[in-house]
Structure 1
Amino acid sequence: MTIKRSIVAVAAGLSQPSSTRMLADRLAAAVRQKLDGEITVRVFELRDVAHDITDHLLTGFPSPALKEVIDAVAAADGLIAVSPIFNASYSGLFKSFFDVLGDDVLRDKPVLLGATGGTARHSLALEHALRPMFAYLHAVVAPTAVFAATEDWAAGGRDTRDTRDTLHERIARAGAELAALVAAREPVTVKDPFELTTSFEDLLGGQGRSVTNDLRL
């Protein structure tokens, strides 16, 4: 029996084309390469639903477009979350999206973190900003988080600064880690919020007993 898996990536880049989207695509490809079975990969750019996220924060109701993204994240077996780094932290768009997710959507869900920035000095934001946030959301975060600076793309993924791993190697290692976390879990099943937990027969039977008891009283 073929196991079906779903991987979703969300990228909070603001420009187009976006290096944040590029990193999300590369990470998604690395995870897909390491997973067996029937794999579905979807990448969402949060800039496309930025207004919808703000409206949801104000009204409490998601638009159809935003609901599609939220539902995809909830149903995913693994999540890739990539943000540009501004002022040593994730972007406001990135944080706002995770603010509108339902309670416990990320609980026990494998997550791979990525970030982009102008220089490698911003890479620590992955550890002091992104990782604590996802730990608070009870996600299972892959050990390797991937940061891509402008010079990483300019070098074609080859790190010319010193002997550290190349961007390509970091992506491959992180992808393998998320794939292992996903493979170790059963496929996600999303409960229908409108599904009845009690059959109509039981409801009618209980109602009948209630009416009988009332008559006896």
Structure 2
Amino acid sequence: MRKLVVISAGLRTPSSTRMLADRLATATAGRLEVETTVVELREVAHEITDHLLTGFAPAKLQTVLDAVAAADGLILVTPIFQASYSGLFKSFADLIGKGAVDGKPVLLAATGGSIRHSLAVDHALRPLFAHLRAVPVPTGVFAATEDWGNDSSLRTRIDQAAGELAAEMDRRDPAVVTDPFLLTTSFDDLLRG
């Protein structure tokens, strides 16, 4: 069974960001057998700040970072503020370890109050995750306030993106995370040089 990790950067409960994340996860799980882990970044916001200030991840946040590294696919959803991702979302992205999402398929999505921010998925999120060497699926999903009343249009975009993510997850080998502290050489061989 593949591992799907869903990251929601919504700041309130309930939030349209979490609603979109849940709908994307459900649509993906309808196409591929997955074990889904949903993370609300607001629940680890203090830990994110602590990590940024100290360089060490508290246990709760480390569990989230480990889940991201072990995932076969990611769904990342953020609210859009000032035409870009939220500060909480960016702070979390700054903590993703080098190589943790290399070649990993990701579905990028965002919510906002106005359709005017719909390009934020392509001009803000996509470059960020390309820089992290993830593989964003072609269809990003943006849901403005008015989209929640036009369910068929939003559902079409969700289904398209979820299908792309499921296909990318299915065609890849399952993610393998290696312990950086695991000795792959015997102690005797190390002593011999």
Identify whether the pair has TM-score above 0.5, normalized to the shorter chain: yes
Residue number in structure 2 paired with 1:212: none
Residue number in structure 2 paired with 1:215: none
Residue number in structure 2 paired with 1:22: 19
Residue number in structure 1 paired with 2:161: 174
**Equivalent AA in structure 1 for residue 86 of structure 2:** S
- Partner deviation per Cα, 1:124-156 (whole Å, 9 max, x = no partner): 11111111111111110000000111111134x
**Structure 1 runs of 4+ off > 3 angstroms?**
none
Is 1:188 matched with 2:175?
Answer: yes
Residue number in structure 2 paired with 1:67: 62
**Equivalent AA in structure 2 for residue 137 of structure 1:** L
SS of equivalent residue, structure 2 residue 118? helix
Residue number in structure 2 paired with 1:134: 129
Is 1:146 matched with 2:133?
Answer: no
CA shift for structure 1 position 200? 3.4
Is 1:85 matched with 2:73?
Answer: no
Is 1:44 matched with 2:39?
Answer: yes
CA shift for structure 1 position 27? 0.6
- Partner deviation per Cα, 1:151-170 (whole Å, 9 max, x = no partner): 11134x13xxxxxxx10011
Identity %: 62
Is 1:202 matched with 2:174?
Answer: no
Residue number in structure 2 paired with 1:123: 118
Residue number in structure 1 paired with 2:10: 13
Structure 1 unaligned regions, length at least 5: 159-165, 208-217
Q: How many residues align?
A: 193
Structure showing greater Rg: 1
TM normalised by structure 2 equals: 0.96
Structure 2 unaligned regions, length at least 5: none
TM normalised by structure 1 equals: 0.86
Residue number in structure 2 paired with 1:161: none
- Partner deviation per Cα, 1:77-108 (whole Å, 9 max, x = no partner): 00000000000000000000010111111110
CA shift for structure 1 position 203? 3.7
CA shift for structure 1 position 201? 4.2
In 2, distance between residues paired with 1:180 and 1:171?
A: 14
**Equivalent AA in structure 1 for residue 20 of structure 2:** L
**Equivalent AA in structure 2 for residue 130 of structure 1:** L
Partner of residue 99 from structure 1, selected from 83, 91, 94: 94
SS of equivalent residue, structure 1 residue 169? helix
CA shift for structure 1 position 25? 0.7
Residue number in structure 2 paired with 1:210: none
